[in-house]
């Protein structure tokens, strides 16, 4: 069979290296290069990227040097200490605990939960949506009924009940509990695009080329809806920071001895704190706003990089 092609083409094995080189010279840049040039074209997004990466690294590493149980001990001498003093950079709360240290450990906990939750729930939701949308028919029907059932459950109440039932929970179990409920929106979104995408001819072409269903789903369709996936992941990451925060604020999130952004914002429950002791809750609130904004900037750049028609970066 190979001879058949050789007969009708001038290209032979001898030309392989030369032609490969020629082709590489003309090659379209790789995805990483495209993303980088997009960042270079969008200065605020570049700043946002550095803020996120820098901040996450800072809290992850910084938290290692902080002895949490000791930090969470009540120190009556530091009761609502003013901020910007040598011992308490950002002041102290009603227990005399350093707000700055709590902020570092709390951010690590909250961001860790958000990253874990986004990874687990988005992966599961994307797979669920892709499989449901691609196979269609009875499989889709069954999977969507499971989805409907999950949607029907009152999410916040279930989480609160689960948190109360499980005796010794920490950030890992909390992440897993959240993950049970947070894949749904993603899965429906991905399914709708997959339904449209799997009707396209390139999927039919892959099938006639003998490619297996799984390969078509994850190697053909998934890259084509990657811009949607990226946008959804960044948005749900920003949202997931809020999920833990919200629940901790209500008092059902992490245990009180584990600081998190939510427990810090919960300081704002007290009108006294809101008016007089602003340093107990304001840093955490500002941090969440800045992080979420930065994430959405970065998400926009990733989306533009994934979609050739929206690019702003240099052509090559």
Partner 1 sequence: MSLVEIKDLKVHYPIRTGFWNRITDSVRAVDGITFNIEAGETYGLVGESGSGKSTTGKSVVGLEKVTSGSIMYKGVDITSKANRNKLDYNQDVQMIFQDSLSSLNPRKRIEDIIAEPLRNFEHLSKDDEKLRVLQLLDIVGLDADALYKYPHQFSGGQRQRIGVARAVATNPKLIIADEPVSALDLSVQAQVLNFMKKIQREFGISYLFISHDLGVVRHMCNNIAIMNRGRLVEIGTREDIYNHPLHIYTKRLLAAIPETNVNQRAAHRASRLAVEKIYQEQQSKYYDDKGEAFPLIQVSPTHSVALPENIAKQLASQEGEVQA
> Which residues bind to partner 1, rule: CB under 8 A?
1-2, 4-13, 15-16, 19-20, 22-24, 26-28, 200-202, 204-211, 220, 223-224, 226, 308
Closest separation between CB of residue 261 and partner 1, Å? 37
Quick check: 48 and 38 in contact, CB under 8 A?
no
DSSP, collapsed to helix, strand or coil, labels residue 98 as strand
| Rg from Cα positions in the chain | 25
User: Could you tell me how far CA 37 lies from the centroid of its own chain?
Assistant: 22
Q: Which residue, 79 or 202, is less far from partner 1 as judged by CB? A: 202
Place of tokens 């704190």: 273
Q: Which residue, 13 or 77, is less far from partner 1 as judged by CB? A: 13
Closest separation between CB of residue 132 and partner 1, Å? 19
Q: Which residue, 212 or 256, is less far from partner 1 as judged by CB? A: 212
Distance CA 130, CA 235 (A): 19
Closest separation between CB of residue 313 and partner 1, Å? 16
Closest separation between CB of residue 33 and partner 1, Å? 13
Q: Which residue, 28 or 275, is less far from partner 1 as judged by CB? A: 28
Q: What CA–CA distances, in Å, run from 42 to 35, 238, 239, 312? A: 11, 20, 24, 8
Q: Which residue, 18 or 168, is less far from partner 1 as judged by CB? A: 18
- Extract the tokens encoding 210: 């003998």
- Phi first, then psi, for residue 92 (nearest 5°) are -140, 160
Closest separation between CB of residue 109 and partner 1, Å? 37
Distance CA 240, CA 306 (A): 23
Quick check: 102 and 259 in contact, CB under 8 A?
yes
Closest separation between CB of residue 118 and partner 1, Å? 23
Q: Which residue, 50 or 214, is less far from partner 1 as judged by CB? A: 214
Closest separation between CB of residue 11 and partner 1, Å? 5
CB contact set of 311 (below 8 Å; sequence gap of 6+) = 34, 38, 304, 305
- Extract the tokens encoding 225: 């809806």
User: Could you tell me how far CA 262 lies from the centroid of its own chain?
Assistant: 18
**From its phi and psi, is residue 81 left (phi > 0), alpha (psi between -120 and 50) or beta?**
beta
Closest separation between CB of residue 1 and partner 1, Å? 5
């Amino acid at each position: 069979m190979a001879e058949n092609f050789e007969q009708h083409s001038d290209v032979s094995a001898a030309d392989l290296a030369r032609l490969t080189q020629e082709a590489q010279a003309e090659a379209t840049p790789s995805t990483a290069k495209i993303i980088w040039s997009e960042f270079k074209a969008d200065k605020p997004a570049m700043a946002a990227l550095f803020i996120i990466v820098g901040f996450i690294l800072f809290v992850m590493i910084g938290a290692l040097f902080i002895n949490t149980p000791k930090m969470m001990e009540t120190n009556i001498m530091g009761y609502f200490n003013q901020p910007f003093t040598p011992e308490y950079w950002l002041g102290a709360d009603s227990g005399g605990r350093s707000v700055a240290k709590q902020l570092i450990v709390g951010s690590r906990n909250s961001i860790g939960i958000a990253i874990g939750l986004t990874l687990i729930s988005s992966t599961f939701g994307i797979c669920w949506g892709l499989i449901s949308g691609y196979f269609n028919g009875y499989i889709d029907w069954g999977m969507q009924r499971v989805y409907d059932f999950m949607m029907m459950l009152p999410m916040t109440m279930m989480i609160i009940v689960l948190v109360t039932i499980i005796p010794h929970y920490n950030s890992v179990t909390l992440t897993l509990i959240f993950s049970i409920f947070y894949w749904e929106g993603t899965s429906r979104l991905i399914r709708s695009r997959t339904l449209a995408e799997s009707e396209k001819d390139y999927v039919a072409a892959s099938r006639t080329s003998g490619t297996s269903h799984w390969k078509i789903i994850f190697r053909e369709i998934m890259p084509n809806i990657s811009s949607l996936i990226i946008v959804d992941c960044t948005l749900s990451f920003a949202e997931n920071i809020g999920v833990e925060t919200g629940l901790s604020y209500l008092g059902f999130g992490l245990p009180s001895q584990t600081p998190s952004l939510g427990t810090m914002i919960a300081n704002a429950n007290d009108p006294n704190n809101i008016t007089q002791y602003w340093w107990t809750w304001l840093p955490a609130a500002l941090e969440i706003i800045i992080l979420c904004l930065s994430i959405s900037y970065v998400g926009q750049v990733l989306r533009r990089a994934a979609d050739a028609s929206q690019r702003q970066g240099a052509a090559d």
